[in-house]
Structures are given as C-alpha cells and as structure tokens.
C-alpha cells in the first residue's frame, strides 16, 4: 500500500489527520426506539490490506449522512475521523482504539485499492482455550461443518424461538456455535439447497463463551457474521487439509435435545475474570470483573432516574422543550432512564456501584419508562418503587468496569455493566470463595456496629467487647454465634 496512507496497526489516540484505505468487512445498525421514532447508529469493522481490523461507529445524529454512502464489503478511503479508546464488553476487535465518524469525515469509494478477502486472517482456535483470553473481545473462528441441531417444533407447527446449534472441526479442535434469529434463517436457507458436504463455515465476531468437555462454545451476537464456504485463503487451505485427511464430511441434522439446551443456557458468568470488592483496587485498568455481593442500601440522594436524550445524557427543561448540553441543542426525543447508585458489600469490604439504563433494564426486565409510569412518579423522583427496594439484601453477581478515571476522583464508584440474581451462577461464585450466607450477614452486622460507633473498650479486650454486645440478647446470640470458628473471625474483624 502507498506510504501516503496510514495503516490500522499504527493508529494512536494522538492521530488527527488519518487517511485510511479499508474494506468494510462488517456493517450493522444499532436501533433504539424512542416514542415510536427509531434512531439508528451505524457500527462497522474496517480492515486494511494487512488484515488488521478496527471498529468504527457513526452516531445516530450522523446516520442520515453515511447510511447510503457506506456499504458492506466495499473499499473506501476514509479521512478526518476521531480516535477514541476501545473499552467495554462485546468489543469487535482487540485493537486498543476505535474510530468515530464526525460531520467533517470524508468517505470516498476506492476503485484502485486491493483489500481482498485473501487478507482476512484467523487466529488458531486453541488461543480461545486459554483462561487468559479476554472474553470481552469477540473472536473469529472457522471450521468444517460436522453437525447441525435445530430446535424442536412445537405442537402448533412453529418453533418457539429461533435457535440452532452447529458444530465445526478445525484440525481436531471442535467448536460449538449457537445461532439466533436471522442466523438461523441463513442456516436453514443454506441447508435447504442440499449440498452440505465438506462445508467450511466462518463465524466472524462471535462471543467466546467457555470451554466444556474439550469443546469451544461460542454464540452469535448482533454484530456477528456467518459465512458458508468463504473465499478466504485460510478457508480454502483448511478445506484442502481437511479433505486430504477425510475426503467426505457430511454433517448430521437432528433435533436439539434437553442436554443441548442446557449447554446453550450455561452461564458464562462463571468463567469471566473474578474479583472481590477489596480486590477491585488492584485489578487491571480497562477490564471488567465479576463481583459477588449484597446491596446493603440504595444511595438515592440524586434520585433513581432522570430524563435523558438519545445520546443518554441528562436533559434540562428550557422553554417548553429540553436542552441537551452534549448535543448542544434543544431535543424532543427524550425518555426516563435509570441511574441508580448503591452500596455493595462482600466478605472483604464494601464499595459504591452505579448502574445505568440498559443494564438495570435487563436485570429488572422493565424499562424505566414503565416503572415510572406504573408508580405515577412523573414529578416525584424521591419515591422508590418496590422493584428497586427488592434488590437489597440478596446475593447478586455484578460485572463491573475498572476505569482509569477512578484514581482521579475522591469517591470510587464502579459502573455496573451487567448484573444477575441467577441462583446457579451466584452459588458457583459463593462456592469458589467458600462464602456462607450466615457468615456474610454476620460480618455486615459488625461493620454496621463499627460504623455507628457502638463498639467500645480497648482493642485488647476483644472477648469482653464481644460478650458485652451479646449480653442484652442471649437468645439471638445463641443462634447467631453457635459456630465457634465464626466467632473467632468476628473478633479478628472488629479488632
């Protein structure tokens, strides 16, 4: 490639005059429905002639400018883009940066450039078996189709929902992929053609879930791409190698059984990086971690919801309309959004977490607008609905982000990306750290007493202090402190 153009691998956050020649290897639209009006952003993965990929986004406010201009698989010269850091979950590429299209971004179709499919590179699937692999980053896998399982048809002749499982073999490495929605339609259309022998399948930008029984389990997400018999150089070489060892491979097609559905529903929470609350201070910046804890109290000095713009920032009433400081204009498409701050504790300490709109909506299975409307709280942000109160004093798992900006503020507040109360996932985490519910609650009781200043006497008099606290309520003390090991632990904690 001409040295006049930049390469994806050399992009840094300080670049202000990038000129790239790239192929759009993936393009999809992310829709957000607000008051029956659909606002869409464009998400893309761009690849240069060296096979290096980077994610690019077009904000919904610029959708009108680029949606007819950019098409998947075309090659473009792109300039005047903003470079930002690549953080969060479901990252399409491991590249440390992403490209953000702006009003002055220029996109011109390139007819001379050669960024063909032969440049597409695949990693060895064995790398996904490594526990150190960052599962927040989507992966690309390729293999020969060996098995197809479809969901059972119900009594009325229609599938309950679109779900299928395919299995692939990549030189002895077995991969199982769960397909959803339109990907199931794509599979059905391909199988209906009848020629399913020696088929190479590429699943691009797939969510790497876990490894079970020596098999890599992945699933498709919104930005994934499914390709049958691709023309990638890697695919052609793999097909030749596999056919040399076994000339004919015809996949079986069968109905999905209960075991298949269980494997599909297996929660990937258990294999994500884990941390205790006290350990979050030592975690690697820029990653997300699973934390086990109980919500002790809701911190709602600023309420639990706000009126937000399509950009998700708070808007302010202004002359019968709303003004968004981020968009620098008056906006009409606004809606209530969650913003709930709470204190979480585990057996090692406590910290303040905050959860925003989408994450809490997924947990409660109710939108903020529904909750506000159901409780008649259009003008009352101080009233707390029962759904939020019910989150307290129950063991939960939180996927929280460790951000570098936390070191720059006086109070560390971790942002919750996901949360779940799934009994199986919570119990697996509790078993890992040998946490027992009574022990958990007892520790919190002593933390509260210490914070309230109810503990007294010298530090050397731990036994006396413990006895004094228990004398007024012997029936309770007998039940709470029947475990001698726990009592000794309490004495250590309160000292």
C-beta atoms surrounding 178 within 10 Å:
22
Q: How confident is the model at residue 339 (pLDDT cuts 50, 70, 90)?
A: very high
Taking only the tens place, the pLDDT of each residue in 366-415 is: 888 888 877 665 545 567 888 898 898 888 989 888 776 655 555 688 98
Tokens of 275: 């941390």
Query: In degrees to the nearest 10, what's the CA dihedral of 128, 134, 138, 142?
Result: -10
- CA 385/CA 372 separation, integer angstroms: 9
Mean pLDDT of the chain: 77
What CA–CA distance (Å, rounded) separates 230 from 234? 9
**Cβ atoms of residues 463 and 491 within 8 Å:** yes
Q: What is the pLDDT of residue 287?
A: 67
pLDDT of residue 77: 94
More confidently predicted of 214 and 42: 42
Q: Looking at residue 168, what is its pLDDT?
A: 92
Mean pLDDT value of segment 34-62: 78
Alpha-carbon Rg for the chain in angstroms: 27
pLDDT at 34 over 60: no
Closest CA to 134 of 185, 175, 192, 87: 87
pLDDT digits (tens, 9 = 90+) for 133-151: 888 889 999 999 999 988 7
**Is 442 a residue whose pLDDT tops 50?**
no
- 159 or 9, which is more confident: 9
Reported as a single tens digit per residue, the pLDDT across 397-406 is 898 887 766 5
What does the alpha-carbon distance between residue 113 and residue 77 come to, in Å, rounded to a whole number? Answer: 9
Would you state the pLDDT for residue 418? 84
Note the pLDDT of residue 125: 86
Q: In what order do the strands lie in the sheet with 321-324?
A: 315-318, 321-324, 329-331
Measure the CA–CA gap between 403 and 416, rounded to whole angstroms.
Answer: 11
3-state secondary structure of 429: helix
Residue 199 pLDDT greater than 80, yes or no:
yes
pLDDT of residue 468: 41
pLDDT in tens, 238-291: 999 888 888 777 787 776 664 454 444 444 454 456 788 888 877 766 667 888
> Is residue 162 within 8 Å of 181, Cβ to Cβ?
yes
SS (H, E, C) 186-230: HHHHHHHCCCCCCCEEEEEEEEEEEEECCEEEEECCCCCEEEECC
Q: CA 444 to CA 369: how far, in whole Å?
A: 34
Question: 39, 311 in Cβ contact below 8 A?
Answer: no
Residue with tokens 């761009």: 46
**Cα angle 403, 408, 411; round to 5:** 85
Q: What is the reported pLDDT for 466?
A: 44
33 pLDDT higher than 50 = no
**Going from the N-terminus, what domains does the chain have, and what CATH number goes with each?**
8-116 (2.40.50.140), 122-266 (2.40.50.140), 272-425 (2.40.50.140), 437-494 (no CATH)
For residue 352, give the DSSP letter: E
* Cβ-based burial of 259 (10 A; exposed 0-12, middle 13-18, buried ≥19): exposed
- Output 133 or 304, whichever has higher pLDDT: 304
Residue 449 confidence (pLDDT): 39
Q: Which residues contact 306 (CB under 8 A, 6 or more apart)?
A: 314, 336, 337, 339, 381
Both tokens assigned to 267: 């929660």
Does position 76 have pLDDT exceeding 80, yes or no? Answer: yes
Contact predicate 241/198, CB 8 Å: no
Which distant-in-sequence residues (6+ apart) come within 8 Å of 17 by Cβ? 79, 80
- Which DSSP string corresponds to 461-489? -HHHHHHHHHTT-HHHHHHHT--HHHHHH
User: Distance between CA atoms of 117 and 344, rounded to whole angstroms?
Assistant: 49
Tokens of 1: 């490639």
Which pLDDT score, from 0 to 100, does residue 465 have?
Answer: 42
Cβ proximity of 62 and 99 under 8 Å: no
């Amino acid at each position: 490639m001409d040295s006049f153009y930049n390469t994806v691998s050399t992009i840094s956050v300080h670049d202000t005059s990038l000129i790239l020649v790239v192929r759009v290897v993936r393009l999809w639209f992310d829709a957000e429905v607000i008051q029956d009006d659909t606002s869409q952003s464009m998400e893309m993965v761009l690849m240069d002639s060296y096979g290096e990929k980077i994610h690019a986004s077009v904000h919904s406010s610029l959708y009108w400018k680029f949606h007819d201009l950019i098409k998947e698989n075309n090659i473009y010269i792109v300039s005047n883009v903003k470079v930002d850091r690549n953080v969060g979950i479901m990252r399409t590429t491991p590249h440390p940066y992403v490209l953000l299209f702006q009003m002055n971004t220029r996109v011109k179709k390139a007819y001379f450039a050669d960024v063909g499919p032969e440049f597409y590179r695949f990693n060895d699937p064995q790398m996904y078996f490594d526990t150190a692999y960052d599962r927040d980053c989507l992966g690309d896998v390729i293999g020969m189709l060996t098995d197809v399982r479809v969901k059972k048809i119900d009594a009325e002749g229609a599938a309950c929902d679109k779900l299928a499982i395919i299995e692939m073999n990549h030189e002895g490495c077995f991969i199982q992929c769960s397909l959803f929605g339109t990907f199931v339609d794509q599979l059905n259309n391909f199988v209906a053609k009848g020629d399913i022998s020696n088929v190479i399948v590429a699943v691009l930008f797939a969510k790497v879930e876990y490894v079970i029984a020596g098999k890599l389990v992945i699933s498709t997400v919104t930005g994934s791409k499914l390709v049958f018999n691709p023309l990638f150089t890697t695919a052609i070489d793999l097909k030749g190698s596999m056919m040399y060892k076994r000339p004919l491979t015809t996949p079986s097609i069968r109905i999905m059984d209960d075991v298949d559905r269980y494997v599909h529903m297996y929660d990937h929470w258990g294999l994500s990086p884990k941390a205790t609350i006290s350990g979050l201070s030592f975690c690697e910046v820029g990653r997300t971690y699973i934390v086990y804890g109980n919500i002790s109290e809701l911190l709602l000095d600023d309420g639990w919801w706000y009126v937000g713009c399509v950009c998700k920032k708070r808007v302010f009433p202004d002359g019968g309309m709303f003004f968004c400081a981020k968009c620098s204009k008056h906006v009409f498409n606004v809606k209530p959004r969650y913003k709930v701050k709470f204190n979480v504790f585990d057996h090692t300490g406590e910290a303040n977490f905050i959860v925003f709109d989408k994450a809490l909506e997924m947990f409660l299975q109710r939108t903020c607008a529904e909750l506000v409307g159901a409780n008649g709280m259009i003008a009352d942000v101080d009233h707390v609905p029962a759904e939020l109160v019910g989150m307290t004093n129950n063991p939960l798992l939180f996927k929280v982000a460790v951000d570098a900006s936390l070191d720059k503020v006086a109070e560390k507040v971790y942002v919750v990306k996901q949360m779940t109360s799934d009994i199986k996932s919570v119990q697996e985490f509790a078993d890992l750290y040998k946490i027992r519910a009574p022990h958990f609650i007892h520790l919190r009781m002593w933390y509260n007493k210490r914070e309230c200043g109810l503990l007294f006497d010298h530090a050397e008099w731990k036994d006396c202090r413990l006895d004094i606290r228990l004398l007024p309520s012997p029936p309770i003390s007998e039940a709470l402190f029947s475990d001698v090991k726990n009592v000794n632990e309490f004495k250590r904690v309160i000292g």
